[in-house]
Amino acid sequence: MDQRVFAAMMQDWFAHQETARMPAGLVKASIPYGTNYDRWASDVFSRSIFADEAATMALLNGFKNRHARRIENDPLYLLARDVYQHYFEQLQPEMEKLYARRDSLQRIYMLGLMEYQPNRRFYPDANSTLRVSYGQVDDYYPRDAVHYRHYTTLEGIMEKEDPEIYDYVVEPRLKELYLQRDYGRYAAPDGTMRIAFIASNHTTGGNSGSPVLNADGHLIGVNFDRNWEGTMSDLMYDPDQCRNISLDIRYCLFVIDKMAGAGHLVQEMTIVD
């Protein structure tokens, strides 16, 4: 697949770009093949170690200084290096000039809009500022006869366990703690181990990792996703359907303390029960 993509991309690139504006090394490498991009791709991939995952990993895992020459002479590496250098040496500096010019004109543009539309409410530029969203931990009803409670538990992880699929492999230590119900101080009042919870906070792409605080400023979770019904919230926010999904901080502490055996890290924290 990569070989076919390479051939198609090179054909499109050479068809729509002047060679004088392209990486010199790339143009030189293409000369022996003319417009036969399939042959070029076949030749490059047949001679590159990076076209073979097993060979690549073997080289990296047993890497010695003498192996550097093997990489430096690899045809795919040479092409990638030329494109990379061309971008950062030729294209990026010019793009930064355009960006600076655009930014300098933004104030004039906004002033013109405000004078033209004096009754319009303009939102501020929030780039590079601290953004705060608020909401409530809450369940929701996505459609008729369907109800999602506001939390998930360790039982759900065990239900999805599949040793054949990487994302669903359960560590033996975690399974042991589950079977023993050894959750320590991190168990919920009903005895379960809470994993994640949902709330009506208005989040967007890039909010993964944002801290979730309660009304007292205590860290109760870490945001990482949105529900399916709430993906439209970038355009329209509906508090009845939009839910952000957060890792329960109790599960995080449980993994650190009980599963990983790093209780000394927890001792450095102030835990509010």
pLDDT at 116: 97
Kindly provide the residue ranges of all beta strands, DSSP E only, lying in the chain, ordered along the sequence: 140-143, 146-148, 151-153, 194-199, 211-213, 219-226, 244-248
Any idea what DSSP says for residue 160?
Answer: T
248 and 151 in a common domain = yes
Q: What confidence tier does 125 reach under pLDDT thresholds 50, 70, 90?
A: confident
Q: Which of 32, 63, 95 is the last residue of a domain?
A: 95
Round to whole Å and give the CA distance between 256 and 253: 5
Within a domain: 119: no
Q: Which two tokens stand for residue 168?
A: 């669903």
Query: Count of CB atoms within 10 A of residue 156's CB?
Result: 11
Query: Is 134 inside a domain boundary?
Result: no
Question: What is the per-residue pLDDT for 142?
Answer: 95
- Listed residues 63, 78, 95: the one ending a domain: 95
The answer, yes or no, to whether residue 64 has pLDDT greater than 90, is no
Q: Is 101 inside a domain boundary?
A: no
**Is 126's pLDDT higher than 80?**
no
Last residue of a domain, one of 95, 127, 153: 95
Q: Give the residue numbers spanning the domain of 260.
A: 140-267
In a domain, 113, yes or no: no
> What is the reported pLDDT for 47?
93
pLDDT of 6-58, one tens digit each?
A: 999 999 999 999 998 899 999 999 999 999 999 999 999 999 999 989 999 99
pLDDT value, residue 96: 95
What integer best gives the mean pLDDT of the chain?
94
The answer on pLDDT for 154 being more than 90 is: yes
122 within a domain of the structure (yes/no): no
Q: What is the pLDDT of residues 213-235, one digit of tens each?
A: 999 999 999 999 999 999 999 89
CATH number of the domain enclosing 188: 2.40.10
For the beta carbon of residue 9, count every other beta carbon within 10 angstroms: 12
Q: Are 248 and 161 in the same domain?
A: yes
* pLDDT score recorded for residue 175: 97
pLDDT at 86: 94
Q: What is this structure's pTM?
A: 0.60
Answer whether 247's CB lies under 8 Å from 211's CB. no
**How much of the chain is helix, strand and coil, in % rounded to 5?**
55, 10, 35
Between β-strands 194-199 and 211-213, what pairing exists: parallel, antiparallel or unpaired? unpaired
> For position 273, what pLDDT does the model report?
81
Of all residues in the chain, the percent with pLDDT exceeding 70 is 100
Beta-carbon contacts of 256 under 8 Å, excluding residues fewer than 6 positions away, are: 262, 263, 265, 266
Q: What percent of the chain has pLDDT over 90?
A: 83
Same domain? For 148 and 263 the reply is: yes
Note whether residue 47 is domain-resident: yes
Residues 259 and 145 occupy one common structural domain: yes
pLDDT tier, 123 (very low <50, low <70, confident <90, very high otherwise): confident
Asked if residue 224 is part of any domain, the answer here is yes
Please tell me the total count of domains within the chain: 2
What pLDDT shows up at residue 77? Answer: 93
Instruction: Looking at the structure, tell me whether residues 89 and 173 fall in a common domain.
Output: no
Residue 112 lies in a domain: no
Asked if residue 260 and residue 145 are part of one domain, the reply reads: yes
Q: CB of 261 within 8 A of CB of 209? A: no
Q: List pLDDT tens digits, range 156-209.
A: 999 999 999 999 999 999 999 999 999 999 999 999 999 999 999 999 888 899
Phi/psi at 47 (nearest 5 deg)?
A: -105, -5
Do 148 and 234 share a structural domain?
Answer: yes
Structure-block tokens of residue 124: 């501020």
One domain for residues 255 and 158: yes
